[in-house]
Amino acid sequence: MTDEREAGDADKVQPGEQQGAAKAIEEGDAPATSVDVDDDGLGELAEGQWAQQSQQLNTFITNIYDGVHSDRVHIGVAASSGRRRVTGTLDAAEIEAAARFYLRPAPFDEASRLLADRRLVVLAGAEGIGRRAGALALLTTVTGVDTDVTSLPPSLNTGDLAARTYRSGRGYLVQDLIVDREAPAVRRFELDQLLAVLKASDAYLVITVTPASAAQGAMRDLRIDWQVPDPLSLFEHCLDENGPAVQHDADVELVRRRAAELTRPRDIVALAARLRDGVDAAMAALEDTERERVRAWFDDKPNLHQVLTIAALAFINDIPQATFERCLARLVAIEEDRSGRESQPTEGDPQLPQSRRLWAAEDSLAKIVRDDSTGGLRSPRRLVFTASGYRTHVLAELVDRYGYELWDPLVAWAAEVAAESDLDVQLELGLGIAMLAGAALHEVTESFIEPWANGTPAQRLTVAQTVSWMCLDDALAAEALGMVVGWVKHGSPRRAVTATIALSGELGVRYWSDALRMLWELVLRGGPVGTVAAKALAIRYSSASAEAAEAARVLSQIASAIEWSMRRERREARLQRVLGAALELIRAEQFEARQPMAAFVLQSAPELAPTLGRLFGEVLRSASRQVPAIDALVATLRALGGDESVRPAVEEFGGSVRDCLSDREWSLLRPQLQQALDGTDQAALVAALLRVLDRSNNGK
């Protein structure tokens, strides 16, 4: 590809091309339906102005898993104990952690026999009862291998699963299978094919589903209704594993009686762990004082203004007090307008309401704080809940106690906040909506997520942030993935852009195989959504820089998709889209350090120097992209500084760049590159790179 050619209109993704690219990243999937993308309201997003929001949210969520903000976030009823990828090869530490306190429930032996005989078993049950841990235990038991389990994307249907290649003796898991729109007869046919493939491959597959999943109909003869182990037996098992033994006094027996009442294995495991800190600590963990405190506040029948205030705080907690009061005033005005109720005039001198005294009341659920670490007296006063857990309980009580009269103005007000507010408010609103989804997912989807996903650019950003927050809860994460898959396959152009932004965040971390496949399809689709998808891939790559191995994995898989398309694609418009994605990748920067990712990879994963070199080489061949590509190369060398240890990687990188260029292309490019490199201080690395680049390419 030696000429610079212009991109045309978006082309429809062809089945063979989509599946070929999927194989390049070792995941198969049927092609999604292409939609034409107009530019109505998408230009702002396509220019990348959302990148800052995505980066800030990704950093914040990373800090949550590191314990920095974990006290602020309480989402849903099935929060994960730690960040993990849902797809890909599970590491030994994760499998070992799941097995440490595992106690086999009653259906385990039946499920084990079924898996060994049929090669597939479906575990049905509610979230939180231990289906995932049970699946891992079944696979390691039947295969006899405890370190080799692959978790597959939940969006794969039975036909996709049947089309995969499986390794002999290996275990596979599909957690929370997403039900597609296939007819039951089609699903049954595909299931029979899957069973035959698994048997021929000598592989084993466990699928988990919820009780309401329609997939259970076709898989009825393979389904096991999963159960929790006996709570008290699990509690005793955990005590034995934790050691040393706890004394059997009266207080400990009280904890045991309470443990017998619990229904979720993770709660029982956590209780046993707290008992090591003493009986009081364990009992404190059991007492749901925050929930009762919130219920008592609502039982006192607060007035309308108090309810509106606490509801607004549940949606946008921990923002500057002045900002909150402006938002609250708008909510009050919307409620008055929709109810037809007006503020009552007062006789004589008007009295200003002392609204801030609400936060000083002894029974208040909220308080004013000032962050001394960010400026002391100069830092703004912020309004927060008195206890971090109050927010979730307030939202649940609002759902349980109030109807249309409250929710109609709240929905309208939240839509305004999402459309008009600054980044900090949008982040908090996205978190509030995600927390509300834990209590009323259907209503949240219908009133907030779906309308906003097709709304203004700011509303779509808020929805994308909501999706990331939902990924902190295992059950909500699966629901979020299902929504995003629908937006990509069947949604409007605006919803496709919303999905693209969401896939660059926490959803892309948990379901990376799904995210890469969908984002690459959108890149090839072109138009504004393709531009956003290319930036989303770069953001996902940048967000992985906290772990060198993860960054290397993400780069390698994106590069595989790019290189596959460069080899196979013949339509010029789509080749230009591929090159655009490659350019975004080579000039990506680490989130906080603001250093080129290319320099980070050369230092931390030098084995990927050839991969990185090929990406640079292909982009340098493109006349319209040479200048930004040269800038990215210069920035990379500057970031490497005087690190002589990286010289072998730089030379290997340069060799791969040169392999992409003909002698003529290099002769035209060299003067521009030399001029740009003359301004750098890294003489040794520059000289090493140019020596490699100056070699002849044998007349290529």
Same domain, 188 and 215: yes
3-state SS class at 215: helix
- Cβ-defined contacts of 157-161 (< 8 Å, 24+): 157/30, 157/182, 157/187, 157/190, 158/182, 158/187, 158/190, 158/191, 158/193, 158/194, 158/218, 159/30, 159/186, 159/190, 159/193, 160/28, 160/29, 160/30, 161/190, 161/194, 161/205
Strands 319-320 and 381-385, how do they pair? antiparallel
Same domain, 164 and 275: no
Query: Does residue 212 form part of some domain?
Result: yes
| Sign of the dihedral defined by the CA atoms of residues 493, 498, 501, 503, in that order | negative
Mean pLDDT calculated for residue range 192-200: 94
Same domain, 213 and 263: no
Same domain, 254 and 176: no
Mean pLDDT calculated for residue range 600-610: 94
How many other CB atoms are there within 10 angstroms of residue 110's CB atom? 11
- Residue 8's pLDDT is 32
Least confident of 32-41, 132-141, 552-561, 623-632: 32-41
Do 219 and 134 touch, CB atoms closer than 8 A? no
Phi-psi region of 574 (alpha: psi -120 to 50; beta: other; left: phi over 0): alpha
Same domain, 260 and 143: no
- Residue 15's pLDDT is 37
Strand partners, 224: 123
- Residue 249's pLDDT is 62
Least confident of 215-229, 358-372, 466-480, 513-527: 358-372
Amino acid at 178: I
Query: Does residue 335 form part of some domain?
Result: yes
Do 452 and 493 touch, CB atoms closer than 8 A? no
Residues 450 and 114: their CA atoms lie apart, in Å, by: 40
Percentage above 90 pLDDT, the chain = 41
Can you read off the two tokens belonging to residue 480?
Answer: 């979020």
- Residue 252's pLDDT is 73
- Residue span of the structural domain in which 259 resides: 231-287
3-state SS class at 79: strand
Phi then psi dihedrals of residue 120, to 5 deg: -145, 135
Query: Does residue 257 form part of some domain?
Result: yes
Query: Does residue 384 form part of some domain?
Result: yes
Please give the order of strands across the beta sheet that includes 381-385. Answer: 319-320, 381-385, 366-370
Same domain, 305 and 390: yes
> Nearest to residue 581, comparing CAs of 539, 543, 638, 623?
539
CATH number for the domain harbouring residue 368: 1.10.10
pLDDT tens string 638-667: 888 877 889 999 999 999 999 999 989 999
Same domain, 379 and 304: yes
pLDDT tens string 405-434: 999 999 999 999 998 867 889 889 999 999
H or E, element range at 536? helix 527-543
Can you read off the two tokens belonging to residue 70?
Answer: 């974990």
pLDDT tens string 273-301: 777 767 777 666 665 667 888 998 999 89
Least confident of 165-179, 387-401, 550-564, 685-699: 685-699
- Residue 700's pLDDT is 54
**Rg of the Cα atoms in the chain:** 28
Same domain, 218 and 101: yes
CB burial class (10 A; 0-12, 13-18, 19+) of residue 234?
Answer: buried
Under 8 Å CB-to-CB from 432, ≥6 apart: which residues?
A: 314, 315, 316, 317, 391, 395
| Sign of the dihedral defined by the CA atoms of residues 578, 580, 583, 588, in that order | negative
Peptide bond just before 244 cis, omega within 30 deg: yes
Place of tokens 């027996």: 253
Same domain, 331 and 406: yes
Band of pLDDT at residue 686, cut at 50, 70 and 90: confident
Comparing 28 with 607, the larger pLDDT belongs to 607
Band of pLDDT at residue 193, cut at 50, 70 and 90: very high
Least confident of 351-360, 476-485, 523-532: 351-360
pLDDT tens string 10-30: 333 343 444 445 444 443 333
Same domain, 219 and 94: yes
Same domain, 99 and 202: yes
Query: Does residue 568 form part of some domain?
Result: no
Largest CA distance in the chain: 96
How many other CB atoms are there within 10 angstroms of residue 346's CB atom? 8
Can you read off the two tokens belonging to residue 174?
Answer: 């599909």
From 249, 268, 287, give the residue that closes a domain: 287
Comparing 304 with 545, the larger pLDDT belongs to 304
CB burial class (10 A; 0-12, 13-18, 19+) of residue 478?
Answer: buried
CATH number for the domain harbouring residue 117: 3.40.50
Across the chain, mean pLDDT equals 81
Place of tokens 């182990």: 229
Query: Does residue 623 form part of some domain?
Result: no
Mean pLDDT calculated for residue range 621-628: 91
> Nearest to residue 455, comparing CAs of 489, 420, 505, 410?
420
Query: Does residue 552 form part of some domain?
Result: no
User: Is the predicted pLDDT of residue 39 greater than 50, yes or no?
Assistant: no
Residues 159 and 178: their CA atoms lie apart, in Å, by: 13
- Residue 51's pLDDT is 61
Same domain, 315 and 379: yes
- Residue 75's pLDDT is 55
Per the structure, the count of domains in the chain is 3
Report DSSP letters for 113-145, one per residue. HHHHHHSEEEEE--TTSSHHHHHHHHHHHHHS-
Q: What's the 3-state SS for 462-486? A: HHHHHHHHHCCEHHHHHHHHHHHHH
Mean pLDDT calculated for residue range 48-57: 58
Can you read off the two tokens belonging to residue 540?
Answer: 């996902």
Query: Does residue 570 form part of some domain?
Result: no
625 DSSP assignment: G
Band of pLDDT at residue 52, cut at 50, 70 and 90: low
Mean pLDDT calculated for residue range 132-159: 86
